[in-house]
Every structure is written in C-alpha cells, then in structure tokens.
Structure 1
C-alpha cells in the first residue's frame, strides 16, 4: 500500500477521494495515479517536471488547455482530452 495525495478527484467503485486529500492505494494503482499526474506520493518533495517537458499526449487536460491558449489555438467546444488533442493537432498541421 502507498499513500497518495490526490491532485484531482478520484472516484472509484468503493470510494471517492477529493483533490488535496490523501488516501492509501494498492501499489499498482498508486503508481498509475502518480505516473498519470493525478496525484503525488505523500511526502514527495521532489520538483515536478514542467508540462513543457512532456509530450502533448502525456499532459493533463488542464495543461493542454494552457498549451492551446499559449499557441493561440481555439479549442471551441472540445473538453475531453482526445478532442483537445485532435484540435491542437489539426491547428498545428494547418500552420505547416
């Protein structure tokens, strides 16, 4: 078991953990949450990688929206990660 402090809401079949709360997770699930950027291990004080260092498909929706804003890309109604990635990709292809 690993303790993870959530950065986003976690809603699983057995419980819900709000952003900012810490909870115990099985090792594999904790690893997935931390690797996906949804939480950090309790007490982890290492600096977090900047979003600019990540490929677009590894960024969170919030990071993708910030990227689109910085690149002056209008996301329109896109709100899901796959849709946002598609709009960004199309906009970048159009610039070339």
Structure 2
C-alpha cells in the first residue's frame, strides 16, 4: 500500500521523512496509519475500507448527547484543551500549564455529574 509519511520514522527496516511516499506491506501500512505516522495515498480496496471503518470512532451524528469524548484530555494539546474548555464554558487558570488545564477541566466535569 502506498502511504505518505506525516512525521519522521526510523526503524531497522526503513526510514522516512515527512512528505515521503513509500510502498509498505498492507499490515505495516495499516499499523502506521492507525498510529498517525502516515496517510494512505492510494484509495484502499473495498475490503480494506470496510476494515478501516470499524477501527476509529466516527465523529458527528452517531454519538448520543453526553457521550464520552474521543480524545483523552492528557493527549490533547494546550490549544485543544483551551478550545474544549471554551466549548463547554469551563474557566481555566490564565497562566496554567497543561496539567493545570487538564485538572481544571476534569474538576469541572466531576462537578457536572
């Protein structure tokens, strides 16, 4: 499967730079795509598209109100945390670090339950 790397990858079998296009075995390509290291360049085969559909949760209409968020707070960037807090009307400390922002959001979520 042809993939385009979005970040630098180095291992004993190969190395790649961002933007580099490379042919990988299907299993390896799927693993790298799921990890966020690359994106598929070719359209996946129909059977592969079916398998990929079930791997990651879809965003949008499929979730009930109040359903769990897709990305854990600890994995969000500071900008994503601030946007999340704005969307949910959560006040954050002005000069807080990422850990402070996560703690404030978690405390606000606990208060809502």
- Global fold match (TM > 0.5): yes
In structure 1, the partner of 2:29 is 30
TM-score (norm 1): 0.56
Runs of 4+ deviating beyond 6 Å: none
1:81 matched residue in structure 2: none
Which residue is equivalent to 1:17?
A: 16
Structure 2 partner of 1:70: 83
Greater fraction of residues in strand: 1
Note the C-alpha offset of 1:55.
0.9
Q: How far apart, in 1, do the equivalents of 2:41 and 2:71 lie?
A: 27
Matched, 1:55 2:70: yes
Unaligned 5+ runs, structure 2: 44-58, 60-68, 86-91
Contact 1:4–1:23 under 8 Å retained in 2 = yes
TM-score by length of 2: 0.49
- How many residue pairs were aligned? 74
Distance 1:69 1:93, change over 3 A: closer
Cα distance between partner residues in 2 of 1:14 and 1:75: 42
Let me know the Cα RMSD of the aligned residues. Answer: 3.0
Contact kept, 8 Å, 1:68 with 1:75, in 2: the verdict is: no
